[in-house]
Amino acid sequence: MAEVKYEAASRIYPGTEIAAVNELNLDIADGELLVLVGPSGSGKSTALRMLAGLEFVDKGSIYINGKDVTLSPPQDRDIAMVFQNYALYPQMSVASNMAFALKQQGIPKAERMERVKEAAKILDLEPYLDRKPKNLSGGQRQRVAMGRAIVREPQVFLMDEPLSNLDAKLRVQTRTELVDLQARLGVTTVYVTHDQVEAMTMGHRVAVLDHGVLQQVDTPRRLYSAPANLFVAGFIGSPAMNLIEVDRTGDELHFGSAAVPLPDDVRADLRASSSKRFVIGIRPEHLGQDQNGTACGVTVVEELGSDAFIHASMPHEGDEVTVVVRLDGETEIVRGDQLSIGIDGPVHIFDAESGARLGTPVT
């Protein structure tokens, strides 16, 4: 069990002046499952490898349980890593794969096998201990990789996109099993993924990175309901938040033909700002049919059973923009229909140039 701390930690690869991870400050609590998420090139895997000791820390420090491990080799950090490709030894049985690291540490055979059996019971791998990895499904191989980490009884689990090789159905099932397993073991876990749905369903907290810079770290609910900036607003959510760039009209902003209702703190920031362009952000579920709204033409209808996502073309500032509206499933709306759409929920306002959120800062 351990706390993890990044203190202004940076990684700058040779031959470039741009940091892959730039002055990362992040505290991870004992027993927490924290997810690092971001698009390709955001620095999330580099940040994980810095913690593992597989990447050099050019500036700053990293601490595990209060101990500075910035210069410590991987074997001295008491961590266990689960990789995307499982990294199992094909010639070894499941039991031997799980026990391999313990054998390298000189743990007696009896203790090794006891730990393997305990981990196998937790992971429902008991019937497969004598099998080779080639005789296992993808989900079973991933559980073996997890078992190999569990038997080491580390202070910290590090997971680098461990579910990306699984098919969609198995990925959903396995991530549920991982969340349950982490809760039962109570081991501090840092999990990397590019899939924001995976991040939102797994993490106690989620840290969003872009180009090596931490954009926001918060609970999944807070990331969704109060994104700190334009990047987080556009990245978190499926389908994505509707983001519509607008010109200001005095201290008002317009969505289609209607003025946007603005809270007092947002209106105060708007009045104080010298910017001319802003971005209105509205979640699909916060748009709806409104007889006093803006007339839009339906272009695509996505029916998902319980929900339907209506893509509609809306006239806006002399142009056409596409908005997505989330409605109840089994809708009778079809392509070519005309809908009158209005705002039916919270609105997020951002400065178009800086990306900063207007209104009370997110805490």
Per-10-residue mean pLDDT of the chain, 363 residues long, equals 94 94 98 96 96 97 97 94 86 94 90 92 90 91 89 92 84 87 93 93 97 97 95 94 92 86 91 92 94 93 92 91 92 92 93 92 63
The backbone torsions φ and ψ at residue 348, rounded to the nearest 5 degrees and listed phi first, read -110, 135
239-351: CATH homologous superfamily?
Nucleic acid-binding proteins (2.40.50.140)
Give CA separation, 287 vs 241, 260, 294, 322, 352, in Å.
11, 12, 11, 13, 21
Q: How far is CA 363 from the centre of its chain?
A: 19
pLDDT of residue 131: 95
List the CATH code of the domain at 4-230: 3.40.50.300
Give CA separation, 168 vs 74, 143, 174, in Å.
33, 17, 10
pLDDT of residue 127: 93
pLDDT of residue 360: 79
Q: How far, in Å, CA of 185 to CA of 1, rounded?
A: 10
> Which of 65, 89, 84, 86 is CA-nearest to residue 76?
65
**Domain locations in the chain?**
4-230, 239-351
pLDDT of residue 363: 56
Q: How far, in Å, CA of 179 to CA of 172, rounded?
A: 11
Helices 138-150 & 168-185 angle (0-180, nearest 10) = 20
Whether this prediction's pTM lies above 0.85 is answered by yes
- Greatest CA span in the chain, whole angstroms? 77
pLDDT of residue 207: 98
Q: How far, in Å, CA of 109 to CA of 27, rounded?
A: 37
pLDDT of residue 86: 79
pLDDT of residue 362: 63
Q: How far is CA 192 from the centre of its chain?
A: 8
pLDDT of residue 58: 97
